[in-house]
Amino acid sequence: MNPRPWIRLAAALLLCGTFATAAGAQDVVPQSKTQIELTFSPLVKQAAPAVVNVFTRTVVKERQSSPFFSDPFFQQFFGDQFGGKPRERVQNSLGSGVIVRPNGLIVTNNHVIENADEIRVVLSDGREFPAKVISADEKFDLALLQIDTKGEQLPILQLRDSDDLNVGDLVLAIGNPFGVGQTVTMGIVSAVARTNVGVNDYGYFIQTDAAINPGNSGGALISTDGKLIGINTAIYSRNGGGSIGIGFAIPSNMVARVIDAEAGGGKLVQPWIGVSGEVVTADIATSMRLSHPGGIVVRQLYPGGPSEKAKIMPGDVIVGVNGREVSDPGGLRFRLATLQIGTEATINLIRKGQKLDIPVSLIKAPEQPPRQETQLKGREPLAGAVVVNLSPAVSDELSIGEWQGVAVQKIRRGSYADQFGLEPGDILVKVNGSAISSVDELVAAVSASTDNWTITINRGGESKTIEVH
């Protein structure tokens, strides 16, 4: 039996269900041969020319193999030159991208082009162009590339409001998986507000079962009207394999903010309202007599910040922004990041069982005190860590819910700090019993001569002690 009619029937059933839902009518089965033979071909022909392949070339320097060369003790004395002349190795990788402006402006994932020495873009018709990075942001895992079209106007994908997306909507993923060439897969939206995925600092993703594989990163997730609703970014897989039907895309509303920021001549800076809190768990919901878990219970307000000025109070439960539901701090960060500094947002909250809508001004997070970025050196457990004074701006950058203290900004690979398990975002609380509130205090504490170290850190709200003897 020829399977093609059944494939067309399945597509027609999905299409009819989608159209019926959009029209507010009841779902119906196909009523004619024309309906059964519906196809996605016209939609793909319209969208595919705006999806490109992105090839990168990176020169990686490697030193001769020896256990001594990576030892932090030797590196402290001899520096990065220890180990002889490095050898160079060329690393090639591929991904996808989407043309969003006719002049050749392309959006892709930051991780597709990060650290690349050379980037080339190949259009669907086979033409190849060198590309330069216009902007790249690790926090949002988005990057903008520009190719020189010599005045030619290229086909684009228009962005759709991703907030209009619903679970069950039909979507198509277009990209270049495994380098086999442009490929189209079909699926539905499995979820519209996935957080805690671990892909970027503003984890708020569209989840789909449309097959997404390595090489699809940066490609298009489109709706049945042919518009861009997301940038395919990551998959959940077992043992490093391919797609198992759990893929994630960055919503188009976040993409739109990055494009708008570039058009305005600057990097995207997310708004700040000066509030921190924790997700409302089932236990917290019961203790607060809430009907169900979800939302953020306010624990701390920045003195003189927008939320305090707006009379938001500790114990309030934030459940939405501008009428859009938020269920955890990651969702709140995303909703704020899609808005403009200098405007107002309506914070939807519950206070003692009463629903309130409170307007709050959106401002840039202040950087006070100055961060005083410092790399620690020497023969102590924190050597190799770059530390900074915490402020609202630094807290937002590192996705930390604290505004005071000293935090680890980054760690040099192979250093003492790396070997002892420190991570970016850790807050340094105590060193050998001395409380730490500034970088100066930390530097003084680690300068002491001792062979025994006890370091207390705060990681994700939990206290952890590291002992070195």
Catalytic-residue membership of 111: yes
Q: Is 140:396 a contact under the CB 8 Å cutoff?
A: no
Catalytic-residue membership of 217: yes
Least Cα distance to 94 among 128, 140, 125 occurs for 128
Distance (Å) of CA 54 to CA 25, 148, 307, 318: 42, 15, 43, 40
Helix, strand, coil in percent for the chain, rounding step 5: 20, 35, 45
Catalytic residue among 93, 96, 111, 190: 111
Catalytic residue among 96, 141, 252, 415: 141
Catalytic residue among 93, 96, 135, 217: 217
CB atoms within 10 A of CB 297: 21
**DSSP per-residue string spanning 350-361:** EETTEEEEEEEE
Least Cα distance to 36 among 5, 57, 2 occurs for 5
Beta bridge partners of 99: 106
| Residue count of the chain | 469
Catalytic-residue membership of 70: no
Distance CA 201, CA 204 (A): 9
Q: Is 45:389 a contact under the CB 8 Å cutoff?
A: no
Q: Is 267:364 a contact under the CB 8 Å cutoff?
A: no
Give catalytic residues, as residue numbers.
111, 141, 217
